[in-house]
Amino acid sequence: MANQTDVLIIGGGFAGVATAQTLEKGGVSTLLIDKKDYFEVTYSTLRSFANPLQTKNQARKKYQDFLSGQFKQGAIKQLDKQKATLEDGSVYYFKKAIIASGTSYPTMSLAKSHHALTLQDRNKEMLSLHEQLLKTKSVLVIGGGVVGVELAGEIAAAMPKINITLSHSGPSLLNGFKQKTQTTAQKQLKQLGVNLEFNTRYKKNAQGKYIDKNSKESTAELVLEAVGAKANNAFLQQSLKHILNDSGFVKIDNNLKVIGENNLYALGDIADVGEAKLGYLANEQGNYLAKAIIKQLNGKKVKAYKRNPLMALIPIGNIKGVVQLPFLVTTLKMLVNLKQKDLFITKTLKGFGTTPDL
């Protein structure tokens, strides 16, 4: 007998899990497929890398321990309009499918692991990366976006003796954010002793060395590339390449439905949603889509997804940070500490109906 489900969800990040949990709560059966067996609060991994004693692996939890619907560990080889074929040869038919496969950093597994497919392996991987950092005297972080800024701040706060350089290809950090957010982050990083480089691009040569545009070689013992996030879309290339835009992200309409397809949806980092690619927004998209599908199944009218303005709470180490709201940019401790407490690990998991493992 063929494997069947009402809603197939591809990817178990914030968007995929939020959608699955809300659909199941509304009486819609789901099957979530992910290549790993655990969910990870990814915006806590940078501190797990620099200061694992604070997070204590609480940011990761097995899907089977909290997911309301069905879960299958595996990698999608090919998605068609009505079925998904996994690399192990199994086939799953669906009425609707939600593409939430996210993005990955090809050169930085500490942000999102490339090879650790079990919870135990991921915990070991993060500890190994931390031990590597303990032996390091100098670090080059490439990329001045949110990940690069937070990463440099976490290392500087946890290990002030390490010489840290944050290099960015543009003239200022945090492209797309308000100027006050950019200058505040820059000031706080300098206060932590981080060296800042602007308008600089590094390339890795055949010998594995990082060379800038002036042919100067970086002397850093450890280089972390927080750039070049790529859409996880390999499983779409054969049958559904037409749904991708020129950058490899899935084209969607105002209801998060894949353009030109009646039963496919996309959300989170893989989708061309038109708002920042942040975890809390992926969560919002998942809740919206699940409720929209439930309304649609009940014959009710569905409103369009309302894009959110860019808001962010960016920790700079474990004490400092900057908050950008639509009407305000602030370093007010009360607001900064909302995330500093446990990097929203408890809040995120509670939203999924569970709690961190002790």
pLDDT tens track for 281-305: 999 999 999 999 999 999 999 999 9
SS3 assignment, position 39? strand
Q: For residues 231 and 245, is the Cβ–Cβ distance under 8 A?
A: no
Between CA 49 and CA 133 the distance in angstroms is 8
pLDDT tops 70 at residue 88: yes
185-189, 215-219, 252-256, 261-265: which has the minimum mean pLDDT?
215-219
Burial (0-12, 13-18, 19+ Cβ within 10 Å), 54: middle
Domains and CATH numbers, the chain: 3-107+229-308+347-351 (3.50.50.60)
Q: What is residue 242's predicted lDDT score, i.e. its pLDDT?
A: 97
- List the beta strands (DSSP E) in 100-244: 103-104, 138-142, 163-167, 195-197, 202-204, 210-212, 222-225, 230-231
Cα 72–chain centre separation: 21
In the block, which residue shows the tokens 């806590």?
44
In the block, which residue shows the tokens 């990463």?
151
Give the pairing of strands 320-325 and 312-316. Answer: antiparallel
Could you give the angle at which helices 179-191 and 146-158 cross, rounded to 10 degrees? 20
Q: What is residue 59's predicted lDDT score, i.e. its pLDDT?
A: 94
Stretch 110-116: mean pLDDT: 90
Q: Is-above-0.85 flag for pTM?
A: yes
Phi and psi for 166 in degrees, rounded to 5?
Answer: -105, 115
pLDDT per residue as tens digits for the range 133-175: 999 999 999 999 999 999 999 999 999 999 999 999 999 999 9
Q: What is residue 184's predicted lDDT score, i.e. its pLDDT?
A: 98
Q: What is residue 99's predicted lDDT score, i.e. its pLDDT?
A: 98
Mention every residue, 6+ apart, whose C-beta is less than 8 A from residue 1.
none
Nearest Cα neighbor of 174 from 312, 284, 340, 46 is 312
